[in-house]
Chains A and B, each alone.
Chain A
Amino acid sequence: MATEKSVKETYYESIIKQGYSRRDFMKFATYIAAYMGLETSMIGQVAKSLENTYRIPVIWEHYQECTCCSESFIRSDHPIVSDIILDKISLDYTLTLMAASGHQAEAAKQATMEKYKGEYILCVEGSVPLGDDGNYCCIAGRSAKDLLIEAAEGAKAIIAWGSCASNGCVQAAYPNPTEATPIHKIIKNKPIIRVPGCPPIGEVMAGIIVHMITFGRLPELDGLGRPKAFYSKRVHDSCYRRPYYDAGLFAETFDDQNAKEGYCLYKVGCRGPMTYNSCGTIKWNNGVSYPIQSGHGCIGCSEENFWDNGPFYERLTGLAGFGIESTADTIGKVAAGVVAGGLAVHAVAANISKRKELNSRTTRGKQNEKKLES
């Protein structure tokens, strides 16, 4: 890749050229529209946009990451998804997949940034280390921060793929030695779509790009900059084990009878009730399964700080600064015990300290009692 095509091509043209039939194309349009949460009447608009829109140049930067986002992407359900995104969207620069390397590759990137200034989309996979002058992540002799600022300059919009770019992910876990920093904390003047998840679901990634092509603007975002179509519900809300939760049927350990029955994993630490993602509906690996369906609780990989909110197999977690493994409840019980003990001591002390006052009052009360008319 890393080619600079002089002849402009629409998405449809390149899909057909790739060997797909129009029928395949329409199936793809229907399928992606469904994932995007559009009405059936909108399928025509999706198809029309793909037929008429020229390719959007994309620069895909890889910083501190493990490439699981790219892996997830190229394994998405429909073959056209990876084709359209990786070949046809004209990925002008991506370290992992491009054929070019070295100076050629860097030159191609520079050419795209100049030629399509203000038009290209910058996809960022990975966080940016700010510690030690950014030396923890360097590409072609330059720091990730430097490269990001340069690439963001002429970008139309930035897509922060995955938890690394969205919230720092594992490398930002306490104590965060490299000062791994998510994109939105560095770039402030560009629209940023955050697509958290480790990795995000491939279909979600495709859906966002197709949305931008179809409607020419960013999808509707929530308060954290995540596309509402995919991140507005908790995994818990679309979980097929939800009825067990409402019925109060829980697995206590991973090897008990309840776990075999497929009961809710709430008590063994499932983060589904706190995690916003579409794993319950879109699922993974061509819709085969997702963690909860495979018998493991959700670890909340698309939530900020999920790695520091461990352990993954308990509902409540340790509170920093209160000793290892102490939960809020333990601290609460100790505090309540201390308060109750203190109150008991106070009650005794009050009776001793104020005994004169109390004695005289009791005496007078008894005298009054004797004076009562019988």
Chain B
Amino acid sequence: MKARSFKRVYVWELPVRFFHWINAFSITILAVTGFIIANPPAIMSNAEASDAYWFGTVRFIHFATAYVFFFNMILRVYWSFVGNRFSSWRAFWPFSKKMWHNFLHVIKVDVFLANEKKPDIKDISIGHNSVASFSYAALFLLALVQVFTGFGLYAANAGWWLPKLFSWVVPFMGGDFIVRTIHHIATWGFILFTLIHVYLVFYHDWLEGRGEVSSMFGGYKFVCEERLTKALEDEEIESPVDEETLEIID
């Protein structure tokens, strides 16, 4: 096998990385506090109720984090219109022919672990692969479900107009009970997503060895040099290439 040289490509811009970690952080906090609210632990205490407020604090953290989660999400939607092509909303719309082709490739090679006789270097996505894009689009919908049901439940106690905008949700669904149940079940969707997401990031890092895990910290991924030249020749897209060449001989 011939030696390959890789170049460092800036894939995830700073706002995208910030979004990712704020999102991960707030989902963790929301899930943990959410489960505590759903089924609080038994705490025996001699304290008077007037001296204790831990459950109120847990609820406060849940609501405050919900706002962080919500506004973070809004900013990410904004960034999908002004950010680079890897963060663009187009990357999450897996219905072009090219993306559909990639979708099937990923299912075949990465999910069912088939080995290709002649691997095409173009099948390795630089940003999200199509299956990943699809899962993020699904996660976005799940997040919307949480926003609508969560603010819907919160609206009756809210004094601000923003949560009150969601006050129609509870009557629309028929009552608090069903809204709460949906809110609770959707949390499990986030947990299942996280398991699969983290596993696949490790999987790609291990099998492709081009900095999948660290890319969400530093923003860079390593891409074969030959791909860059091709892309430049095609002149389809302006090159997001870092001029500095990293000599990693594979």
- What is the interface of chain A, defined by CB distance below 8 A to chain B? 222-224, 232-234, 237, 243-250, 252, 257-258, 266-267, 271, 273-276, 300, 303-306, 309, 315-317, 319, 328-329, 331-332, 335-336, 339-340, 343, 346-347, 349-350, 353-354, 356-358, 360-361, 364, 368
Contacts and interface: CB of A to CB of B under 8 A. Distances in A.
Given A233-B156, A335-B188, A353-B113, A303 B175 contact: yes
Given A247-B56, A339-B195, A234 B49 contact: no
A267 B40 contact: yes
B49 A258 contact: no
Interface of B: 1, 38-40, 42-45, 47, 49-56, 58-59, 111, 113-115, 156-157, 167-168, 170-172, 174-178, 180-181, 184-185, 187-188, 191-192, 195-196, 199, 203, 206-207, 209, 249-250
A274 B156 contact: no
Given A349-B113, A361-B250, A364-B250, A316 B38 contact: yes
Contact of B209 (A245, A317, A361): A361
Contacts, number: 134
Secondary structure of the A contact surface, majority rule: helix
A309 B76 CA distance: 37
A343 B184 contact: no
A315 B250 contact: no
5 contacts: A247-B51, A267-B40, A303-B176, A304-B174, A328-B185
Contacts of A316: 38-39, 184
B42 A336 contact: no
B207 A249 contact: no
Given A328-B185, A346-B113, 15 more contacts: A234-B176, A243-B49, A246-B53, A246-B55, A257-B44, A274-B175, A309-B177, A319-B185, A329-B188, A336-B188, A339-B195, A343-B199, A346-B199, A347-B203, A361-B209
A134 to B, nearest CB: 25
A258 B203 contact: no
A328 B181 contact: yes
Given A244-B49, A303-B177, A232 B156 contact: yes
Given A274-B175, A315-B39, A336 B195 contact: yes
B182 to A, nearest CB: 10
Contacts of B199: 343, 346-347
A232 B156 CA distance: 7
A309 B45 CA distance: 32
A277 to B, nearest CB: 12
Given A246-B56, A303-B176, A316-B38, A340 B113 contact: no
B188 A328 contact: yes
Contacts of A329: 38-39, 184, 188
A205 to B, nearest CB: 21
Q: Which 5 A-B pairs have the closest CB atoms?
A: A223-B171, A248-B55, A332-B188, A274-B176, A246-B56
A343 B195 contact: yes
A332 B55 contact: no
A346 B114 CA distance: 12
A237, A243, A246: residue with the most chain B Cβ atoms closer than 10 Å: A246
Contact of A368 (B157, B184, B196, B249): B249
Contacts of B175: 274, 303-305
Contacts of A245: 55
B55 A247 contact: yes
Contact of B54 (A247, A275, A315, A339): A247
B113 A354 contact: yes
Contacts of A273: 176
A350 B111 CA distance: 9
Contact of A339 (B157, B171, B192): B192
Contact of B49 (A223, A247, A257, A356): A247
Nearest to A362: B209
Contacts of A246: 49, 53, 55-56, 59
Contact of B184 (A328, A339, A361): A328
B174 A305 contact: yes
A267 B42 CA distance: 9
